[in-house]
Amino acid sequence: MKKSRLLSLLLTLLLALSLVSPFALAAGESSGSAILDSMVVDAKAAVLVDPDTDEILYELNAHEKMYPASITKVMTCLLTLEAVDAGKLTLEQTVTAGPAIHTGIGDNASTADIKEGEEIRIIDLLYAALLPSANEACNVMAEAVSGDVASFVELMNQRAAELGMTGTHFANTHGYHDDNHYTTAYDVYLMSKEAMKHEIFRTIVASKSYIMPATNLHPEEREIRTTNALISNFRYLGYLYSYATGIKTGSTPEAGYCLAASATKEDRNLISVVMGCEREEGATGSAGYTYFSESSRLLDWGFKNFSRQVMLDATKRDIPEVEVTLGKDTNYVTLAPQGEISALLPNDVSTEDLEYNYTLNAQSVEAPVEQGQQLGTISVSFNDQTYGTLPLVASMSVERDPWLYRLDRLEKFFGQLWVKVLLVVILVAVAFLVVRRLLFGSRRGRYGSHSGGGRRSRYTGSRRHR
């Protein structure tokens, strides 16, 4: 009984290990790059992308549902600028803040102190929304663009769908918390990239401060300052990042601390998004705001550790040859990729770490073969991601041997079924005639000899005298 129980216990342990080990193996898997394997971002979700090529350098839960907080204002300002581009509004146009100015905004929300009935320019509203993160400015722009806030929110969701933001749903114009107002780190990248195409947007988000001119309800100028500590140390010290060019902060208790950041270094552009960051426990003053420190660290990591590398071009060797039939002086042709595939890769990745997959149109080809003729394709991948596919073309021409061609044509002609059938029919007919000739010819011969002998006895025999 004890032995039985011990055996049962061992089997149970083995089963448990068999269930656990695949997860342990997955957790310890290597990407093939120490640079990639060593990077960990202190956030619930993050992504680092080259906006010029859409190449993702780093991602952490990039498609998981998150709350965007005030990063929402990027979409509101994008739609306002697109209305300006369409001629519906102008940057210098003055609009009046209506009674819906505080729609969806709770207490202690960030503000530029824009009041109902205040006459204010579109350009000033854009600065107010993007620098001090004024919630009320977003509702004023929404009414200017769509007539009312609800219609503008519908437009926000429509534009999000057009941009491929499949994990996003907007419920308001500013990002004040709503359970039905959510996005993903990658979707934030998509709308940030689109907004950064507008020169005025880039100018605003790179600004440390802005002077809002006097209005009918504010007789004095107002200086507003950015909330982005990568751009300005007015609010928090110690986070300035010399390559930073924007973009937008966001924070609520539900969303945590969020930042969409952009940077340019030596003509290279990067956009990072961190979401759900927490302030370091016990931090005071300017310390512990990890959404700034993690963003600058992530951007710096991308600039220092990645470079554009040629993954595949015509210099690629060790490609399978293709057999050539009926060729003159050769029976094979070498192949080469046509074109080039390059990518931003970690600097510690070499061609030995890349995987190449070949697909040939056929195992052999009949001459003539022209140089540059496509005979297959080749793809290149790294870390389970395929970076592209190129045609495989003949690297030389192969002439056709005329004698081999004629012999081949004869062989193919006589190899056809109908020809084979016809030949069989002919052979059968010839054989029949030969057999018939042999059979009936011999019989006539025998009969002819017998009658001839009779005639000889009839005409040449001795005559009887009467």
Are 368 and 292 contacting, i.e. CB atoms less than 8 angstroms apart?
no
User: pLDDT over 90 for what percent of the chain?
Assistant: 77
The residue-averaged pLDDT of 45-65 equals: 98
Model confidence pLDDT, tens digit, residues 153-183: 999 999 999 999 999 999 999 999 999 999 9
What span, in angstroms and rounded, lies between the C-alpha atoms of 164 and 162? 5
**What values do phi and psi take at 75, rounded to 5?**
-65, -40
Specify which residues 355 forms β-bridges with.
381
Which of 231, 299, 308 shows the shortest CA–CA distance to 270?
299
* The residue to which tokens 């021409």 are assigned: 397
**What values do phi and psi take at 95, rounded to 5?**
-125, 160
Are 333 and 321 contacting, i.e. CB atoms less than 8 angstroms apart?
yes
Structure confidence at residue 408 (pLDDT)? 58
What span, in angstroms and rounded, lies between the C-alpha atoms of 326 and 456? 70
Structure confidence at residue 424 (pLDDT)? 86
* CATH architecture label of 313-403: Sandwich (2.60)
Residue 460 reports pLDDT greater than 70: no
What span, in angstroms and rounded, lies between the C-alpha atoms of 339 and 52? 20
Cα maximum dimension of the chain: 176
Residue 410: exposed, middle, or buried by beta-carbon count in 10 A (0-12, 13-18, 19+)?
exposed
The residue-averaged pLDDT of 22-47 equals: 77
Each domain of the chain, given as residue ranges in start order, spans: 45-305, 313-403
Model confidence pLDDT, tens digit, residues 107-124: 989 999 999 999 999 999
Q: How many helices (H) and strands (E) does the chain have?
A: 11, 18
The residue-averaged pLDDT of 307-325 equals: 94
Q: Do domains 45-305 and 313-403 have the same CATH topology?
A: no
What span, in angstroms and rounded, lies between the C-alpha atoms of 30 and 327? 47
Structure confidence at residue 436 (pLDDT)? 83
Structure tokens at 466: 């009467």
What span, in angstroms and rounded, lies between the C-alpha atoms of 319 and 359? 11
What span, in angstroms and rounded, lies between the C-alpha atoms of 344 and 433? 81
Mean pLDDT over the full length of the chain: 89
Which of 184, 179, 153 shows the shortest CA–CA distance to 75?
153
The residue-averaged pLDDT of 130-157 equals: 98
Structure tokens at 355: 């995987």
The residue-averaged pLDDT of 415-435 equals: 85
What span, in angstroms and rounded, lies between the C-alpha atoms of 59 and 27? 16
Structure confidence at residue 158 (pLDDT)? 98
Residue 1 reports pLDDT greater than 50: no
Structure confidence at residue 455 (pLDDT)? 46
Which of 231, 230, 183 shows the shortest CA–CA distance to 209?
231
What span, in angstroms and rounded, lies between the C-alpha atoms of 228 and 110? 14
Structure tokens at 296: 């600058």
The residue-averaged pLDDT of 217-244 equals: 98
Structure confidence at residue 412 (pLDDT)? 66
Range 45-305 has CATH code 3.40.1190.20:
no
- Cα-to-chain-centroid distance, residue 5: 54
